[in-house]
């Protein structure tokens, strides 16, 4: 069994996933509301350019997905969750962390811990909370 993060956005999913593609690499597939069968002319309340499904497949085989909230009521990620990103080297972990933290907020700067040679926590400028680390968690 695999768990895959599915992120929700308030109209800026395309912008967020374009940045994630720049950071993580790999192909990005974006489907708009207008791409959905029967939604060539979405109801007035739904933006036809809103992303109904985004999928970023990283070169390392990771999959990150997301969409814009068509209800317009999205207020941000649920507290108590974050996306964990494990990188193979300390240098790569720092690069990814710095890119995600740019324009966002750092909760814990990258540092060596008892469980990883580099670990940090930030919320990116889109409101998505991240844990970035080099190596893998014990037992993972």
Averaged pLDDT score across all residues of the chain: 89
pLDDT of residue 97: 98
Please tell me the CATH superfamily of domain 6-68, with its number. Answer: 2,3-Dihydroxybiphenyl 1,2-Dioxygenase, domain 1 (3.10.180.10)
Whether 140 shows a pLDDT value over 90: the answer reads: no
Euclidean distance between CA atoms 36 and 53, whole angstroms: 10
Q: Can you give the pLDDT at residue 71?
A: 76
**pLDDT at residue 137, rounded to an integer:** 61
Local confidence band at 73 (pLDDT 50, 70, 90 cut-offs): confident
Decide whether 6-68 matches 83-134 in CATH topology: no
Q: Which fold has domain 83-134?
A: 3.30.720
Q: Which of 7-21, 23-37, 41-55 is most confident?
A: 7-21
pLDDT tens across 46-68, in order?
A: 677 889 999 999 988 899 999 99
Q: What is the mean pLDDT of residues 104-109?
A: 97
For residue 15, pLDDT over 70 is answered with yes
pTM of the model: 0.88
For range 114-129, the mean pLDDT: 95
Residue 126 pLDDT greater than 60, yes or no:
yes
What share of the chain has pLDDT > 90, as a percent? 66
Long-range contacts of 63-66 (CB under 8 A, 24+ apart): 63/4, 64/4, 64/5, 64/7, 64/17, 64/20, 64/24, 65/4, 65/5, 65/6, 65/7, 66/5, 66/6, 66/7, 66/8, 66/9, 66/13, 66/16, 66/17
- Per the DSSP assignment, residues forming a β-bridge with 51 are 32
Domain boundaries, the chain: 6-68, 83-134
């Amino acid at each position: 069994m695999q768990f895959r993060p599915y992120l929700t956005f308030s109209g800026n999913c395309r912008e967020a996933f374009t940045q994630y593609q720049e950071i993580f690499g790999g192909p990005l597939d974006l489907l708009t509301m207008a791409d959905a069968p029967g939604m060539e002319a979405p109801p007035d309340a739904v933006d036809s350019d809103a992303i109904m499904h985004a999928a970023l497949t990283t070169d390392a085989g990771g999959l990150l997905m997301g969409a814009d909230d068509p209800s317009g009521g999205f207020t941000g990620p649920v507290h108590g969750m974050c996306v964990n990103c494990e990188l193979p080297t300390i240098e790569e972990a720092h690069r990814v962390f710095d890119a995600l933290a740019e324009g966002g907020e750092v909760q814990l700067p990258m540092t060596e811990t008892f469980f990883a040679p580099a670990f940090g926590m930030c919320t990116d400028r889109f409101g998505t909370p991240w844990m970035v680390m080099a190596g893998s968690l014990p037992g993972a």
